[in-house]
Structures are given as structure tokens and as C-alpha cells.
Amino acid sequence: MLAREGRSMYLSEIASRLGINRALAKIHLKRLEKAGLVSSRIVLLEDEARALRFYTLNPFDIHVTPETLAEACGP
């Protein structure tokens, strides 16, 4: 979705667009961030006294081989 939109999106917006709750979206986004596929930043909205976490897709290149597929699938 981030690639299709071509812009940063905040957590609640991502969850809403995917039809899942924020907690589940956050779990998956943290995993993607740990893998280096997305990055996040917090934006403070002082006039509304709240903070939004925005996620951005990082450039990446994935090479899939039979070995990496076998490793990902496990025994």
C-alpha cells in the first residue's frame, strides 16, 4: 500500500485502509521496520496534543532463489 500511495502514511490510516486494528498493523509494521523495508517517524501535532507515527517505504531489492524459498518455508 505504501508503494502504491507513494507517500508516508500514519499508523491509523494504514490499519483503516487494510481493514485491521491498529495493534495488528503495528506488529507487522514493526517487523517490516526491523527488516529495513520501512522506516518510521513521529510527528507531534501540538495544536491537537497528539503524536502520529508515519511509515515510509524504503528502497529495497529482493532476490529470491530456490534456497531462500526453502529456508523461508522451513522443514
Boundaries of every domain in the chain: 2-73
Provide the CATH number for the domain formed by 2-73 in this structure. Answer: 1.10.10.10
**pLDDT digit string (tens) for 37-61?**
999 999 998 888 889 999 999 998 8
**pLDDT digit string (tens) for 3-15?**
788 899 999 999 9
Instruction: Give the relative orientation of helices 22-34 and 11-18 as an angle to the nearest 10 degrees.
Output: 110
**Would you call 31 exposed, middle or buried from its count of C-beta atoms within 10 A (0-12, 13-18, 19+)?**
exposed
Q: Which secondary structure element, helix H or strand E, spans residue 74, and what is its range?
A: none
pTM of the model: 0.73
